[in-house]
Chain A
Amino acid sequence: MTDARVFKVENKLAKIARLPGGKNINEAVHSAEKRIESVREQCVAALAPKADQLVQAAAGDRAGGAHATLERLYHISNAIFGVASVYELGALAEAACSLCDLLQGFRNGETVNWSAVDVHVDGIRLLATGRSDGAMSVLAGLRKVRARFAAPE
């Protein structure tokens, strides 16, 4: 016999959501899309400072404290991916995701290749400035690096 207990719980969210009033679903979704768009400027503007944080983090300890450095880089890169993907900044989102892929492997014990990290950090900093010229060549370079170092899932 196990100590597992299986039971029903009251769905309070459903009780509230089914009260009279509210919005129809179309209206709610469109209103949410508009509101997300309304904060585009501030969220996109925050990407360049995040890229600067990435640069600072990459300059951190690469010896004894390398694990903490990798963690910090992963968190910042993940945050950049989160915002860039919402606002369809495809190149930046892909570069940030690529760095996360790379760091994931290193965090899991693969030998850290700091050159690969540095190339990504530089690329992300360039893309976060909003300059579209050269974005494709930056991405092409990062894809090659990722293919070389990123661990298969």
Chain B
Amino acid sequence: MSTVPFRRQERVNLSTAEVLIVGGDADGVEILAQMFAGFGVHTPRRCASGAEAMTMVGERELNLMVVDSQLADTDGYDFINWLRRCGSPNAWAPAILVTGHTTSAQIFRGRDAGASFVVRKPVPPLVMMQRIIWLLSDPRPFVTSPGYCGPDRRIRSIGPPVGMKGRRHDDLSVEVGAAKTPNLEQDEIDALFQPKAALR
């Protein structure tokens, strides 16, 4: 039995969530469908091919897509790439890409196709649940540009490279450099935290 690193009583209600599972191997899809049924999803939808999944995207509002890297007619990367540009409201739904044999190039390809996450097999239910919990509070905005559509790929904000100007007006480099003004006295620092107390 797995130990869940969340508050044990935290509840997740996925009973009405529309979850689409896409994968070229029927057994792989079955395993994922059983996992989501165990999570409480009433009817996980299944598709074997990208073409079927595209039809489903056009017909039904989906809340989460779990896409295998190998589909019957295409691959998961191309499907997610299409999804993010398809113009349907589902284009912005979270999409988790599940990969089997995985090279770092495939991870970058999945990220650049617009996947919300790339998860390598085997995917224990605990790991999948962690990703779902993370998605529930995913702070990332979406980006559309000629070269990329999908969730903002910048997980950490570390600013522009040292010595370069950022492209945004509020970009700050992680390197702050040497102080240009005298250090604050402790009283002044305290005042920043408790201004009223310092005035007394």
| Contacts from A to B (Cβ < 8 Å) | 2-9, 11-14, 16-26, 28-36, 38-39, 42-43, 46, 74-75, 77-79, 81-83, 85-86, 93, 96-97, 100-101, 104, 153
Q: Are B121 and A81 in contact (CB under 8 A)?
A: yes
CB distance from A75 to the nearest CB of B (A): 6
Q: Are A22 and B100 in contact (CB under 8 A)?
A: no
Size of the chain B interface, CB-CB below 8 angstroms: 64
CB distance from A6 to the nearest CB of B (A): 5
Q: Are B27 and A83 in contact (CB under 8 A)?
A: yes
Question: B52-60, B141-149, B176-184: which lies at the A interface?
Answer: B141-149
Known: A8-B141, A9-B92, A13-B17. A25 touches B146 (CB 8 A): no
Contact partner of B136 among A7, A14, A31, A86, CB < 8 A? A14
Jot down 18 A-B pairs with beta carbons below 8 A, ordered by A. A11-B138, A13-B64, A16-B16, A16-B17, A17-B17, A17-B136, A18-B13, A21-B13, A22-B15, A22-B40, A25-B129, A32-B36, A39-B30, A39-B31, A78-B69, A86-B122, A86-B123, A100-B100
Residue of A nearest to B16 (CB): A16
Total A-B residue contacts, Cβ distance less than 8 Å:
186
Interface centre among B9, B31, B123 (most CB of A within 10 A): B31
CB distance from B182 to the nearest CB of A (A): 38
Complex Cα spacing A21 to B16, Å: 11
Across-interface contacts of B186 in A (CB, < 8 A):
none
Complex Cα spacing A49 to B125, Å: 26
Cβ of B193 under 8 Å from chain A: no
CB distance from B140 to the nearest CB of A (A): 9
Contact partner of B129 among A28, A35, A78, A83, CB < 8 A? A28
